[in-house]
Amino acid sequence: MALPRVLVTRRWPEAVERVLAARFDTTFNDADRPLTETAFVSAMKAYDAVLPTVSDRLPSGLFDQPGLRTKILGNFGVGFNHIDVAAAKAAGIAVTNTPGVLTDCTADLALTLMLMAARRVGEGERQLRSGEWKGWCPTHMLGSQLSGKVLGIIGMGRIGKATARRAHFGFGMKIVFFNRSDVDDDETRAMKAEQMKSIDDMLAASDFVSLHCPGGAENRHLLDARRLALMKPGAYVINTARGDVVDTQALVQALTSRSIAGAGLDVYEGEPAIPAGLADLENVVLLPHLGSATSETRTAMGMKVVENITAFFDGHDPPDRIA
């Protein structure tokens, strides 16, 4: 019996690629460049499984094509707003993701961004490297501390809780949060985390706001100009979720006018392009989507995909099926 044909759309950790090559008739993207939509159509007519990631775009029109062979999309990542999941499901194509394994490293990065933004780390390094630093003085590059401040979290799932835990027990931060469903468990009670009735109330109460909600139409521009105006003048926005959750131009305006103190961003609308205005600002930290970028996590993500497609082709329901 022939092995299922599998296409991996980007290069993955070597250990995972070895497993894929051993279990399936696998094709790798040696150029490691995102596929065009035309290339995706061809791939889905030629392969039993396609393994995409966040750099790929799979709109509804992709699934309207005749003669599709693909039966499963094993997404490399927990977020899947780059895939029209409803259209995939209507076409009879299963979709899976990789939850759980990137919780800690993404929470670590959220805290990294908080510290970098509040302590003006990027600005300080740029000053030093350019030779502009004139030496220590009492008023040089004053920032803000995390200890004792209020952290507001939008989306109290795995990553939101992990971020809150680090902030509360590591820095003594008070935790408030907004979540669409009630969250009342031992972990949130141990942190004395307070669930707010609305995002607006949470924003007004917070010194730092960290986003941990899904992207897509439901949450597009969740943090817009009106909501940014509710934040404290000394507050910071931290986004390790999805770029479209924040209205970027409204954020640029808030940062430019100093109506908020700063921001730390790891994700962007339309990435890898950086939205106009952001790179010119000193009060924003910009990272190139590093949330899950540890060798341990990326390998674990890849093995999650292997587990999902192996189950599927063995006739079982994939453990991380979303459609």
User: In this structure, are 140 and 277 located in the same domain?
Assistant: yes
Determine the pLDDT at residue 50.
98
State the average pLDDT over residues 57-73: 96
In a domain, 52, yes or no: yes
Q: Sheet containing 284-286: which strands, arranged edge to edge?
A: 194-195, 174-178, 150-154, 208-211, 236-239, 262-265, 284-286
Q: Are 169 and 218 within one domain?
A: yes
9 and 92 part of one domain: yes
Lowest model confidence (mean pLDDT) among 183-187, 212-216, 259-263, 283-287: 212-216
User: What's the mean per-residue pLDDT of the chain?
Assistant: 97
28 inside domain: yes
Please indicate, yes or no, if residue 112 is contained in any of the structural domains.
yes
| Residues spanned by the domain of 273 | 103-286
Shared domain for 265 and 308, answered yes or no, is: no
- Does residue 176 sit in the same domain as residue 34? no
Q: Tell me if 322 is assigned to some domain.
A: no
Instruction: Give the domain CATH number at 189.
Output: 3.40.50.720
Domain-embedded: residue 319? no
The 10 Å CB-count burial string (b at 16+, else e) for 234-267 is ebbbbbbbbbbbbbbbbbbebbeeeebbbbbbbb
pLDDT at 216: 85
271: annotated active-site residue: yes
Please identify which of the residues 119, 289, 307, 321 carries the catalytic annotation.
Answer: 289
Catalytic residue among 242, 258, 296, 316: 242
Q: What pLDDT sits at residue 38?
A: 93
Chain centroid, CA 8 distance in Å: 21
Say if 320 falls within a structural domain: no
Q: Do 210 and 163 fall within a single domain?
A: yes
Structurally, how many domains does the chain consist of? Answer: 2
> Active-site residue 269, yes or no?
no
Tell whether 35 and 85 lie within a shared domain: yes
Q: Which pLDDT does position 1 carry in this prediction?
A: 80
Looking at the structure, tell me whether residues 303 and 185 fall in a common domain: no
Residue 80 lies in a domain: yes
Token pair 């699934």 in the structure block, residue: 63
- For range 177-186, the mean pLDDT: 97
Based on the fold, state whether residues 156 and 302 are members of the same structural domain: no
Specify whether 289 is catalytic.
Answer: yes
Q: Same domain, yes or no, for 125 and 268?
A: yes
Query: 119, 271, 307, 321: which is the annotated catalytic residue?
Result: 271
Instruction: Note whether 90 and 115 are same-domain residues.
Output: no
Say yes or no: 245 and 149 in one domain: yes
> What confidence tier does 217 reach under pLDDT thresholds 50, 70, 90?
confident
Token couple for 170:
């590591």
Answer whether residue 318 is part of any domain: no
From residue 79, alpha-carbon distances to 84, 96, 108, 202, 303 in Å are 12, 10, 18, 24, 16
pLDDT mean over 192-215? 97
